[in-house]
């Protein structure tokens, strides 16, 4: 894999850390800015919504520019949003910076996905995506616990400053490592924006985006509410929570790495094996949630399966959107973050049921089951030509 891919992954690491670190910072933010914890939760919702809307919008704005120019602009904008967020004393201003950061993140990821596909041979898109998404998985292993630790030791603003500082080497790496070349390998002008948007009329593309969103919703639905499960039903102390998060992150890194080697040539193998295991895995974790050892093992395994299946589906989005070279990454980003936005909402509603802390796990199992039913019902359409499930 070319060096620029790893430089892009560094920026994805910084952005992934920012996206997830608020889970451990919201109480302190609420206390200092004089809002309720529930109101501070809008910071997470605003970021997720900005990611969904920002992917196609920002990718469209970056059309006609070199990948390096667009990537650098988005990183600088992301950095600036965190500097403002770190110094503001106003909750509305902080909320606005989260929207701006999400737009920058979405634009960066959309362009980075497209750039990654251009930097490697066509048949290695899956491996390139795995390298890029490893930035997100490493963020769950090191960045998120690190942000929580900084917040605990020096206040929540320190975590914002840390993310801003991480953007500096990422920006330098983009300037030095990403070629200042056209978005297309042959340097030819790409299709018109209308023609790229017309790709959304493809049944296969829409189906794969739906499947990716459902699997990702299941992943982030349960991930968001691991804390009450671990400290409540499982009965582990608060100090065990970072351990559980690291195990989930380590599993996700393993899953992305393995899937990256199979997503191009054998996507059907990953989906046929991983999908049913996820359908069973989330309910099994719910049933065994009171057993600490089982939780520690299953969290790692479910992290691996979730990201293996999810990354493979997002890779298929890139393949299906091959006729939209500028917006392919935006379509993949929108699918990814639609799940990230809706999953926690579904999981939160499950918390209020008789299942309690185990509710999000049952909800995740249901979401993957729905994805499996859709995949089986539409197998013929999905398998046509591009062998999405073969």
pLDDT confidence of residue 93: 96
Residues 134, 10: contact at Cβ < 8 Å? no
One digit per residue, the tens of pLDDT, for the chain of length 390 reads 667 778 888 888 888 888 777 766 777 888 899 988 667 777 877 887 787 777 677 766 766 565 678 889 999 999 999 999 999 999 999 999 999 999 998 888 878 877 776 777 666 766 777 777 777 777 777 776 777 778 878 889 999 999 999 899 888 888 877 776 644 444 445 566 676 767 767 788 888 889 999 998 999 888 878 878 888 888 888 778 778 878 888 898 888 888 777 766 677 788 888 889 999 999 999 999 999 999 999 999 999 999 889 888 887 887 787 766 667 777 777 788 788 778 888 888 888 788 888 999 999 999 999 999 998 887 776 665 444 554
CA distance 230 to 239: 10
Q: How far apart are CA 175 and CA 177, in angstroms?
A: 6
- For residue 148, give the nearest of 281, 46, 17, 335 by alpha carbon: 17
Q: Give me the torsion for CA of 145, 96, 171, 178, rounded to 10°.
A: 110
Size of the chain in residues? 390
Structural tokens at position 101:
């950061």
| Encoded tokens for 299 | 């969290």
pLDDT at 163: 92
Q: Give me 375's structure tokens.
A: 């995949």
Q: What is the end-to-end Cα distance of the chain in Å, rounded? A: 25
What SS3 state is found at 187? Answer: coil
The answer for residues whose C-beta is within 8 angstroms of residue 145's C-beta and 6 or more apart is 242, 245, 246
Please give the pLDDT value at position 113: 75
Are the CB atoms for 130 and 311 separated by under 8 Å?
yes
Taking alpha carbons only, the member of 47, 227, 44, 9 closest to residue 136 is: 9
Question: Would you state the pLDDT for residue 90?
Answer: 94
């Amino acid at each position: 894999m070319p060096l620029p891919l790893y430089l892009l992954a560094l920026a994805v690491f910084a952005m992934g850390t920012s996206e997830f670190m608020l889970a451990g910072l919201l109480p302190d933010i609420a206390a200092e800015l004089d809002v309720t914890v529930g109101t501070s939760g809008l910071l997470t919702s605003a970021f997720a919504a900005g990611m969904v809307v920002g992917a196609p919008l920002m990718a469209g704005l970056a059309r006609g520019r070199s990948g390096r120019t667009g990537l650098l602009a988005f990183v600088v904008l992301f950095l600036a949003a965190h500097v403002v967020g770190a110094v503001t004393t106003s909750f509305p201003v902080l909320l606005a910076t989260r929207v701006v950061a999400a737009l920058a993140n979405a634009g960066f990821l959309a362009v980075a996905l497209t750039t990654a596909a251009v930097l490697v041979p066509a048949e290695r898109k899956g491996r390139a995506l795995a390298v890029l998404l490893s930035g997100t998985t490493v963020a769950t292993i090191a960045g998120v616990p690190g942000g929580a630790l900084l917040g605990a030791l020096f206040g929540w603003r320190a975590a914002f400053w840390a993310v801003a500082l991480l953007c500096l080497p990422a920006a330098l790496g983009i300037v030095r490592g990403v070629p200042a070349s056209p978005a297309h390998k042959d340097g030819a002008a790409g299709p018109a924006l209308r023609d790229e948007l017309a790709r959304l009329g493809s049944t296969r593309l829409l189906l794969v985006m739906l499947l990716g969103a459902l699997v990702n919703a299941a992943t982030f639905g349960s991930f968001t509410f691991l804390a009450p499960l671990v400290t409540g039903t499982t009965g582990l102390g608060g100090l065990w929570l970072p351990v559980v998060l690291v195990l989930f992150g380590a599993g996700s890194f393993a899953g992305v790495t393995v899937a990256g080697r199979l997503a191009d040539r054998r996507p059907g193998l990953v989906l046929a094996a991983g999908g049913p295991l996820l359908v069973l895995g989330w309910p099994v974790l719910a049933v065994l949630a009171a057993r600490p050892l089982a939780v520690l093992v299953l969290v790692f395994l479910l992290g691996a399966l979730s990201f293996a299946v999810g990354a493979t589906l997002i890779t298929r989005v890139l393949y299906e959107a091959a006729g939209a070279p500028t917006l392919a990454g935006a379509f993949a980003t929108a699918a990814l973050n639609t799940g990230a936005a809706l999953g926690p909402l579904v999981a939160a509603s499950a918390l209020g049921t008789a299942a309690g802390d185990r509710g999000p796990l049952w909800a995740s199992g249901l979401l993957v089951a729905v994805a499996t039913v859709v995949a089986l019902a539409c197998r013929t359409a999905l398998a046509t030509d591009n062998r999405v499930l073969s």
